[in-house]
Amino acid sequence: MRFLLTIVTLTLIATHVSAGDLAAGKRVFIKCKSCHQVGPEAKNKMGPTLNGVVGRRWGAVDGFKYSAGKEGTLLAANADSPKSWDLQTLSAYLRNPTEVIPNGKMKTPRLNKEEDVANVIYYLAQFGENGEKVDPDAVLSALEEIGSK
């Protein structure tokens, strides 16, 4: 039953995200701007830059000091089995960061509405690794294709 629920949830997330709204995602991202930046001039702040975050490996932003040394941090969780910010993980993290990375730096804000989660992921998907604009639909399609293999 849990497996079926996971499949249904992933399908809903993928469908909803691929039909995201950039303007709505930009509005939701305002909640994130005090700690994160995107775009060509983005710099690490309290949190890492989010350029290229959709599909990126965990802990891969150069120059950002990730929490380390204790169980439940991003680097500890990633050490044994490298992870990436796929749609399922990114969606879960945006809804409840401490459920995904219990001792990570990000505690808030939580996004409670599925549509806000989908729209902010769609918004973030438009930023390539160096902050250049890319086609968010192409990024999400490639990520969905990788996930289906």
Cα-to-chain-centroid distance, residue 104: 14
By three-state DSSP, how is residue 127 classified? strand
Q: How confident is the model at residue 144 (pLDDT cuts 50, 70, 90)?
A: confident
User: pLDDT at residue 49 above 80?
Assistant: yes
Cα-to-chain-centroid distance, residue 112: 15
**CA angle in degrees (0–180, nearest 5) for 103-29-78:** 30
Mean predicted confidence (pLDDT) in 31-39: 96
The H or E element that residue 110 is part of is none
Mean predicted confidence (pLDDT) in 117-124: 98
Give the pLDDT of residue 2: 43
Which residue type is seen at 132?
Answer: E
User: pLDDT at residue 28 above 70?
Assistant: yes
User: pLDDT at residue 32 above 60?
Assistant: yes
Higher per-residue pLDDT: 78 or 52: 52
User: pLDDT at residue 71 above 90?
Assistant: no
Question: What is the average pLDDT score of the chain?
Answer: 87
Tell me the pLDDT tens digit for each residue of 2-18. Answer: 443 344 444 444 444 66
Give the pLDDT of residue 108: 77
pTM as predicted:
0.86
